Structure 1
Amino acid sequence: MAMLEVKNLGISFGGLKAVDDFSMTIEKGQLYGLIGPNGAGKTTIFNLLTGVYKPTAGRVFLDGQDITGKNTIDINRAGIARTFQNIRLFAELSVLDNVKAGLHNHYPYSTLSGVLRLPSYRRQEKAMDDKAMEILKVFGLDGEFDYKASNLPYGKQRKLEIARALATEPKLLLLDEPAAGMNPNETAELMETIRFVRDHFDMTILLIEHDMKLVSGICEKLTVLNFGHMLAEGPTAEVLNNHDVIVAYLGE
């Protein structure tokens, strides 16, 4: 069974079809890329998959479960987490607390136990601290657990955002232009991080990206979007050599 099945998805804004008849299948454990020119509809699709927008047509299935039209919280609980092109960390919170923010659905305690600092609260806090540190260690951020998130270098903020998303224990991780604003060294390190996340967490990953070096280096399969329509799909090398893709996207 596929991890994600998107069937004939569409959405219109004021009569304009931003995405029309879009279909895509991503297998479990796959590292998949969604590419296309600016304004092609890529982020709109991410917003449809995560419940920010509700589709006007089509269905979305996550690991066999129909999640079409559900809200963002329910979709996150079903198993989709995302990062954003513009980093959205809790800038004034510590690195540790940013990751703990992603753990709360899995470590519930009552308001009363929290207010009174009861033993059940302290146990849950200790468990969250331990789990958050375990995740931070994977990303090499455990030595900076008490830093303010805003004080991390840009590349490490990107890593922290991925770490926080993983703390929600997703089945599918959506990365929205993870290399945006990175220098070549940071991008190379990010590529290794994404590969490691896929392998270490047995994760399925869908990413939007404009950096073709990153896309060709890590994505096993691509879908190309143009003006809200699918232009091409298939193995990465094959798609990047497709004449229509070169004309529409690479500008040659």
Structure 2
Amino acid sequence: MALLEVKNLGISFGGLRAVNEFHLHIEKGCLYGLIGPNGAGKTTVFNLLTGVYRPNEGIITLDGEPIIGKKTIEINKAGIARTFQNIRLFKDLTVLDNVKAGLHNHCKYSTVEGILRLPRYFKVEKEMDEKAMELLKVFDLDQEARTLASNLPYGKQRKLEITRALATKPKLLLLDEPAAGMNPNETKELMETIRFVRDTFDMTILLIEHDMKLVSGICEELTVLNFGQVLAEGKTGDVLNNPEVIKAYLGE
């Protein structure tokens, strides 16, 4: 059974058909890419998968369970986490506190326990500190745990955003243009990080990306979206050599 199954997904905005009859099948453990020209509907698909938008029609199942109609936080708890093209960290918080924000989905105390600083509050906070530090150590960010997120270099901010997403314990990680704004060295390190995340956390990853070197270097399968519809899908090498894809997307 596929981890993510999408069938006949569609949505319109004011008469404009943004996504039409979109389908996607991603097996557990796959590193999958969603590519296409600007305005093709890729981010709209991510917003549909995460509950930001509700489709006009179609089916989305995660691990066999339907998720359409659920709120964004409910979908996150069900197992989908995402990053954004424009990094959305809590930049006035420390690196540690950013990761703890992701842990709050699973480690909780009541409002009263927090306000009154009851024993459970300290117990849960200690557990979150330990779990956050474990994650930061995995990504070599533990030495900067007390640093403000805004003071990290760009590449490390991107890595922190991925770490925070992993703190929510997802089954499926969505990466929205993770290489945006990166130099070649940062992109190379990012590729290693994504492979590391998939292998270490047994993670399934779906990413949107325009950097074809990154896409061809790490994605096992691709779907190409054009004008809101699937243009091609399959093994990465086959898709990137598809004449229709070259014409529509690569401009060659």
Matched, 1:93 2:93: yes
> Deviation string for 1:54-101 (max 9, x for gaps)?
000101000000001211011111110000000000010000000000
1:139 paired residue number: 139
Q: How do 1:1-150 residues align onto structure 2 when only pairs under 5 Å count? A: 1-150=1-150
Alpha-carbon distance in structure 2 between the residues aligned to 1:107 and 1:54:
28
| CA distance in 2 between partners of 1:216 and 1:69 (Å) | 34
Distance 2:184 2:94 in 1: 27
Which position in structure 2 is the counterpart of 1:222? 222
Q: Partner amino acid for 2:78?
A: A
Matched, 1:200 2:200: yes
Counterpart secondary structure, 1:106: coil
% identical equivalent positions: 78
Residue deviations 1:183-238 (CA, integer Å, cap 9, x gap): 00000000000000001111000000000000000000000000000000000000
Q: Which residue of 2 aligns with 1:189?
A: 189
TM-score, normalised by the number of residues in structure 2: 0.99
SS of residue matched to 2:178: coil
Q: Distance in 2 between matches of 1:29 and 1:185?
A: 26
**Letter matched to residue 236 of structure 1:** T
Task: State the distance in 1 between where 2:16 and 2:106 align.
Answer: 40
Pairs aligned (count): 252
Deviations 1:89-143 (A, max 9, x none): 0010000000000001211111122112222111100100000001111111000
**Partners of 1:77 and 1:37 in 2: how far apart?**
31
Q: Alpha-carbon deviations, 1:13-54, whole Å to 9, x = none? A: 111110000001000000000000000000000000000000
Q: Distance in 2 between matches of 1:112 and 1:223?
A: 48
Structure 1 Cα separation of the partners of residues 67 and 73 of structure 2: 11
* Structure 1 residue ranges (4+ consecutive) displaced by more than 2 angstroms after TM superposition: none
Superposition TM-score, scaled by structure 1 size? 0.99
Deviates more, 1:154-163 or 1:108-117: 108-117
SS at match of 2:73: helix
Question: What SS does the corresponding residue of 2:233 show, helix, strand or coil?
Answer: strand
- The 5-angstrom pairing of residues 162-173 of structure 1 reads 162-173=162-173
Task: Deviation per CA, 1:142-166: give whole Å up to 9, x if none.
Answer: 0000000000000000000000000
What is the root-mean-square deviation in Å for CA atoms of aligned residues?
A: 0.6
CA distance, structure 2, for counterparts of residue 24 and residue 117 of structure 1: 47
Q: Where in structure 2 are there 5+ consecutive unaligned residues?
A: none
User: Does the alignment pair 1:234 with 2:234?
Assistant: yes
Give, in whole Å, the separation in 1 of the partners of 2:69 and 2:247: 35
Q: Determine the structure 2 residue equivalent to 1:177.
A: 177
1:102 match: secondary structure: helix
